[in-house]
Amino acid sequence: MQKNQYVAGAARRHGGALVFSERDAEGVLEVVDAFGVRSLHFGTSPRQSAMALDNPERLELAYVRAMLAALIFVPVPHRVLLLGLGGGSLARFLISQFDQCSVDAVERRPGVVDIARTYFGLPRDARLSIEVAEAVEHTESLARVLEAAYDLILVDAYDHQGMDSSVNAEEFFSACARLLRPTGVVSINLWGSHNASLRQSTDLLKHCFPGKAYRLPVPNKGNVIGLGLGRELPKPDPVMLLPRAKALEIQMGIEMPYFLRNLKSL
């Protein structure tokens, strides 16, 4: 693996100062600071992760906040499977918000794990385990030995070209459904700007979570969040869930009432 360390301001990239760059077997990994926000890039302009330097605990990206709309249904998660680490903002947020929550994260690129710890403040915590592995293979392997193990399964498996095609497959969605507790939620960042990919994803959600599949468009972005609810969760009642969404908004600074209003059945 080839690494290059840059002093902020010495080079420009993606509209900001290139802080760090390296190349692994899959391509370029870059850390860029611009207008008070640190971002992770995979060699292209889309941000894979972002962190406000003056407020690292805030979830900077709208799609990351939207993925946590799952908390409307599972307000106190105890065990979370996170597929795709990025800069570690989801892992860090969950550990800081929930004292009894453990997070099992899976990331296929070792360099991403190093960057999350070095440049994005991902803590070393006994409640956070990180496995360097392929998300699909790891999930399917887990599903062969575990069942109903997780309250939340959060999937953000992208590369520089878009959503990893191996994730958008029935075997993977089925494995997630088996690993989910009956009162849990799967939340997947879908490729909303690619019609064929999105159609396939939503069909898989409907197949694996019959009558319990939902979509949440991310405002002004190409992302769509897909949600699959465990079989024992009731269908969402916006009136009943609104007080919880408002409480979560106050607690976490996430626009949960907005997400609840815009959640659509598939």
Give the tens place of pLDDT for each residue, 201-250.
Answer: 999 999 999 999 999 999 877 789 999 999 999 999 999 999 999 999 99
Residue 125 has pLDDT above 60, yes or no: yes
- Decide if 87 contacts 105 (C-beta within 8 A): no
Q: Is 102 helix (H, G, I), strand (E, B) or coil?
A: strand
CA-nearest of 247, 233, 235, 242 to 261 is 242
Burial class of residue 261, CB neighbours in 10 A (0-12, 13-18, 19+): exposed
* Average pLDDT score over the chain: 92
User: Could you say which DSSP state residue 121 is in?
Assistant: -
Give the tens place of pLDDT for each residue, 141-185.
Answer: 999 999 999 999 999 986 555 677 788 899 999 999 999 999 999
- Decide if 189 contacts 86 (C-beta within 8 A): no
Structural domains for the chain: 2-52 (no CATH), 62-265 (3.40.50.150)
